């Protein structure tokens, strides 16, 4: 009986609309056949292929059993696998017959890696389709408790994880692998100028104490208002971006060989204010003069020369205020994916918000923020410098040098941080105690000011992989610039 033409048209339309997820059964069969014929074929795909990458359930099971046998030092063949796979009808074939056919039709192990890559890439495509379908379905359903922004962030996170598949896979690794990585790091540090294992900050005494900024470290930079913590973070970030040098790899990607690409979250200051600070630091013209236009012609040339030199540095600023830790993480992932990223700076921690679950207090929220920040540092494999306020209890002490207990919402910040740095300028406090001129107290104050003028201390209050202690730096308040302290200005060592 003939099928009506209208029904034929409808069936064709349905067939065109119906799409099967991308897969290649022939490649799966060819790879499994190669492994069954020669178990060494497995080692050509062992570092990237998993059972879940196969489209066909029976192929997943065959691969899983074969891998288990090979890893146990046993032979994986049609005969040995048959015991573990039971019996089933595979399109008119028994399991034994199907395994025998896979082995019989196998060509060579030479193409095993190519087949494996094909299976792997198609599995990624299927995951990409799943993410897209979830995005569309979520947008249609629009649950009350989930905002569009939350959905965007969740999708970005899943896309980033998919893009970075293979780099951040969890699970245990052999100690020998970690040992090799540690020796490689030591070798690179030995070869690198300055003998640093991390990224050089441009402040040599600080680098000597810390070995540079280490990948995956959460570094808390804390201080009371007026101490210059934003200036120090800006100085370090700019030094790193200015020193950036990249080397093109065979696959076309750029590898950082010196300095780094910097992302700066300026949650308090605008991008323009931050740029003005950096121009002041580099040109030597005070930022307040730049803002007021109170500059001489020679100052203007210094500013334009500095601005021209800074045009090409890889320094990216996000000035959005009041963002959550989830939003910050999503933007950092995007920056790394699109531009690259070697250092992230957050100014400052207390201006971030958490998920704001009902019943949470600020301490719980800060715990979520610092835990998320440390997880992000590990995920992106970059150091994160997060600035933090200190509590007012510092002001009540005679010795106003900060301690770990002075961190606001202290517990989680101190616990999650790999390094805690405090910025302290005694000059700030001495300057505010100026007595009446001409008095005996004034001459004593003047002598004290001469001792502390232009000096700053960076106190290393905590460091997981290095010593604690204090580093003295030069600080020029007019242009908010930290620099190495001249050796002649240092006090002799105490015996």
For residue 399, the domain's CATH number is: 3.40.50.300
Is 134 found in the same domain as 217? no
Q: Is 384 left (phi over 0), alpha (psi -120 to 50) or beta?
A: beta
% the chain with pLDDT above 70: 82
Residue 301 inside a domain? The answer is: yes
Strand order in the sheet with 419-424: 315-318, 262-266, 343-347, 384-389, 218-223, 419-424, 455-463, 469-476, 481-484
Residue that is last in its domain, among 143, 162, 181: 162
Is 235 found in the same domain as 142? no
- Res. 12: pLDDT tops 60: no
**Adjacent-strand bridge partners of 263:** 316, 344
Structure confidence at residue 175 (pLDDT): 61
Residue 458 inside a domain? The answer is: yes
Structure confidence at residue 8 (pLDDT): 46
Structure confidence at residue 191 (pLDDT): 53
338-376 pLDDT tens trace: 888 899 999 878 888 776 554 567 777 788 888 888 888
Closest CA to 86 of 63, 58, 105: 58
423-465 pLDDT tens trace: 888 887 777 777 777 677 777 777 777 787 888 888 888 888 8
Structure confidence at residue 3 (pLDDT): 46
* Token digits of residue 24: 């290649």
Is 249 found in the same domain as 157? no
- Res. 9: pLDDT tops 60: no
Total domains, the chain: 2
Q: Provide the residue range defining the domain that includes 466.
A: 196-484
User: What is the rounded distance in angstroms from the CA atom of residue 418 to the CA atom of residue 384?
Assistant: 10
* Token digits of residue 372: 């998320």
185-202 pLDDT tens trace: 556 555 555 556 788 888
Is 385 found in the same domain as 291? yes
Residue 6 inside a domain? The answer is: no
80-98 pLDDT tens trace: 888 788 776 676 788 888 8
Is 446 found in the same domain as 342? yes
Q: What is the CATH number of the domain that holds 95?
A: 1.10.860.10
Is 152 found in the same domain as 41? yes
Is 241 found in the same domain as 322? yes
Is 146 found in the same domain as 74? yes
Is 152 found in the same domain as 96? yes
Residue 172 inside a domain? The answer is: no
CB of 314 closer than 8 Å to CB of 258: no
Angle at 150 between CA 148 and CA 152, to 5 degrees: 70
Residue 175 inside a domain? The answer is: no
Residue 492 inside a domain? The answer is: no
CB of 352 closer than 8 Å to CB of 321: no
Residue that is last in its domain, among 112, 137, 162: 162
Torsion from C-alpha of 464, 469, 472, 475, nearest 10 degrees: 50
Can you spell out the DSSP letters for 51-87?
A: GGG-SSHHHHHHHHHHHHHHHTT----HHHHHHHH--
């Amino acid at each position: 009986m003939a099928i009506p033409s209208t029904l034929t048209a409808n069936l064709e339309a349905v067939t065109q609309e119906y799409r099967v997820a991308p897969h290649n059964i022939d490649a799966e069969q060819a790879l499994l056949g190669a492994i069954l014929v020669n178990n060494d074929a497995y080692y050509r795909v062992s570092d990237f292929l998993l059972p879940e990458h196969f489209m066909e359930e029976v192929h997943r099971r065959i691969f899983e059993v074969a891998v288990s046998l090979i890893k146990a030092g046993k032979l994986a063949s049609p005969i040995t696998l048959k015991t573990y796979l039971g019996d089933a009808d595979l399109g008119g074939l028994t399991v034994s017959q199907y395994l025998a056919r896979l082995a019989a039709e196998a060509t060579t192990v030479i193409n095993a890696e190519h087949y494996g890559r094909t299976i792997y890439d198609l599995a990624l495509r299927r995951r990409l389709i799943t993410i897209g379908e979830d995005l569309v379905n979520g947008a249609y359903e629009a649950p009350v408790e989930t905002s569009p922004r939350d959905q965007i962030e969740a999708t970005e996170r899943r896309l980033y994880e998919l893009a970075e598949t293979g780099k951040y896979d969890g699970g245990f690794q052999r100690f020998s692998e970690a040992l090799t990585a540690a020796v490689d790091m030591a070798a690179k540090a030995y070869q690198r100028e300055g003998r640093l294992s991390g990224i050089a900050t441009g402040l040599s005494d600080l680098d000597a104490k810390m070995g540079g900024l280490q990948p995956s470290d959460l570094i808390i930079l804390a201080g009371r208002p007026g101490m210059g913590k934003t200036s120090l973070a800006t100085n370090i970030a700019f030094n790193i971006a200015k020193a950036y040098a990249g080397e093109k790899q065979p696959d076309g990607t750029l590898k950082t060989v010196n300095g780094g690409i910097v992302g700066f979250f300026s949650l308090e200051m605008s991008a323009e204010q931050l740029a003005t600070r950096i121009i002041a630091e580099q040109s030597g013209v005070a930022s307040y003069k730049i803002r007021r236009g109170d500059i001489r012609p020679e100052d203007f040339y210094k500013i334009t020369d500095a601005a021209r030199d800074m045009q090409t540095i890889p320094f990216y600023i996000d000035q959005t205020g009041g963002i959550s830790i989830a939003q910050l993480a999503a933007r950092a992932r995007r920056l790394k994916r699109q531009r690259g990223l070697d250092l992230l700076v957050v100014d400052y921690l207390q201006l971030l918000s958490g998920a704001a679950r009902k019943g949470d207090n600020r301490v719980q929220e800060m715990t979520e923020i610092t835990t998320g920040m440390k997880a992000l540092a590990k995920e992106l494999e970059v150091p994160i410098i997060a600035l933090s306020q200190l509590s007012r209890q510092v002001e009540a002490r005679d010795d106003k040098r900060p301690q770990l207990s002075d961190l606001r919402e202290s517990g989680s910040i101190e616990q999650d941080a790999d390094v805690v740095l405090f910025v302290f300028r005694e000059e700030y406090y001495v300057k505010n105690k100026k007595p009446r001129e001409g008095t005996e107290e004034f001459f004593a104050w003047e002598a004290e000011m001469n001792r502390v003028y232009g000096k700053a201390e960076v106190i290393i209050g905590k460091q997981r992989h290095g010593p604690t202690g204090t580093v003295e730096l030069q600080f020029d308040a007019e242009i908010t610039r930290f620099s190495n302290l001249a050796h002649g200005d240092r006090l002799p060592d105490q015996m």
